[in-house]
Structure 1
Amino acid sequence: MNAKEKKLYDILNLLGINYIRNEHKAVFTVEEASKLDIRIPGQHCKNLFLRNRKGDLHYLAILDETKHMDLKLLSKQIGSTSLSFASEERLHKYLGLKPGSVSPFGLINDIDRKVIVLIDRELTDKSIVNFHPNVNTATISVSYKDLEKFIKWHENKFYYIDIDNK
C-alpha cells in the first residue's frame, strides 16, 4: 500500500466511514475492470475528469459504469461552455492522480477545492458504490451516504446531474 492510499484510509477512518477493500491487478478502464476474476458487490462507477473550454473550471463527473456521458448535453445541463477531458497534467495538478486511478477520493489532494463534483442522480439510491482508492490496484466499496459524507467533509462544490442513456 502506497502513501496516497494510506492517507485516504486514515481520513476514512477519521470520518467513521466503513469500507471494504478489494485488491486486484492494475486496471485502467471500466472494460478492464469488468474482466477481473473477482466479484465486488455494489454499483461500479466511472469517474471522468473534465474541463471547460477556457480551462478555468474543472469537474469530476461520477456515473454508473455502464452509462455514456454526452459532454454537449452535460455542458448545457450545468450551464458551462463546451467540456472536454482534462489532460494528464491537470489531473495530477488538481487531484494528484494518474489516468486509470481517477476517483472522488482524489479530492483529498484538491487543497484549494477547485474541482466541482457532478454526481449522477441515479447513484443516490444505491446502497454500495465502488471506486479506486487513488490507485488502480484496488477497489473500495462504501455506502453512497458515506461517499456524500466524504465529499461534504472536503467542502468541494457538488451537484447532481441527470444522465439519461435510454
Structure 2
Amino acid sequence: MFDKNSLINLLDSKSISYKITEHEPLFTVEDSKNLRGSINGAHSKNLFLKDKKNNFFLVSFIEDIIADLKKASAPLKSKKLSFANEDYLMNILGIKPGSVSPFGLLNDKEKKVKFFFDQEFMEYKIVNFHPLINTSTVSIAPNDLINLIELHHSKVEFINMRDFQK
C-alpha cells in the first residue's frame, strides 16, 4: 500500500521532478485557499464517485468548478452517480476523506477505478495534489502525473469539466 513516503520514493526512482509543501491538514478547497501565495500552479478538486452498479470513478478538476453530477454522468458513461463512502475510499484507494487525489490510484491494485482528468490542467506547468495525506501538497508537471498513473494504473481519460458544472 502506497503512503506519502513510498510515493516520494517512487517519484525519486522515476526521476520525476516535484516539490512537496508541508502544511496544516486541509479538508476542503476552501481550507487550501490560504496557501495560494506559497504554492503555484493549478489547484484541484477531486471526487471519488460510484454508480448504482458499484463502478468507481475518480474525477480530478480545477478547484473553482462546481460539478453537476447529473451532467457529468454522460461523459462517465454512468447513471446515478454519488459519492463513494469512506470504506470504499480506504479499501480501494487507501486514503481518508480530505486526501483524495490521483496518487490514490497507485493503491487500486484491482484497477476498479476509472480516472478522469480535467483537460484544463494541461494548460498549466504545475498541478497540485495531496500525496495520499492532507498535510502535504505535491506540485508536479501534469504530463509527469499522467505518465505515472498510466504506468502504474490505467489510461487517463480526459474530460472538460467546465461543460459539466452547475
TM-score by length of 2: 0.92
Q: Does the 8 A contact of 2:93 with 2:104 survive in 1?
A: yes
Deviation at 1:15, TM superposition (A): 1.7
Distance 1:40 1:74 in 2: 29
Partner of 1:69: 67
Aligned residue in 2 for 1:19? 18
Q: Alpha-carbon deviation of 1:141? A: 0.2
Residues 106 and 149, structure 2, Cα contact 8 Å, conserved in 1:
no
Q: Which runs of 5+ in 1 are unaligned?
A: none
Instruction: State yes or no: 1:8 paired with 2:7.
Output: yes
Larger deviation, residues 61-70 vs 32-41: 32-41
State the partner residue of 2:89.
91
Paired with 1:138 and 1:126, the residues of 2 have a C-alpha distance of 20
What is residue 147 of structure 1 aligned with on the other side? 145
CA RMSD of aligned residues (A): 1.6
Match of 2:154 among 140, 153, 156: 156
Gaps of 5+ in 2: none
Corresponding residue number in structure 1 for 2:27? 28
Number of residue pairs aligned between Structure 1 and Structure 2 = 163
> Deviations 1:19-46 (Å, cap 9, x if unpaired)?
1010000110000111348520100111
Q: What residue number does 2:41 align with?
A: 42
Give the whole-Å Cα distance in 1 for the aligned partners of 2:118 and 2:56.
Answer: 17
The percentage of counterpart residues that share the same residue type is 42
Greater mean alpha carbon deviation, residues 64-73 or residues 156-165: 156-165
Task: Give the C-alpha shift of residue 84 in structure 1.
Answer: 0.6
Equivalent residue number for residue 117 of structure 2: 119
| TM-score of the pair, normalised by structure 1 | 0.92
The amino acid of 1:25's aligned partner reads E
- When structure 1 is superposed on structure 2, of 139-148 and 8-17 the one drifting more is 8-17
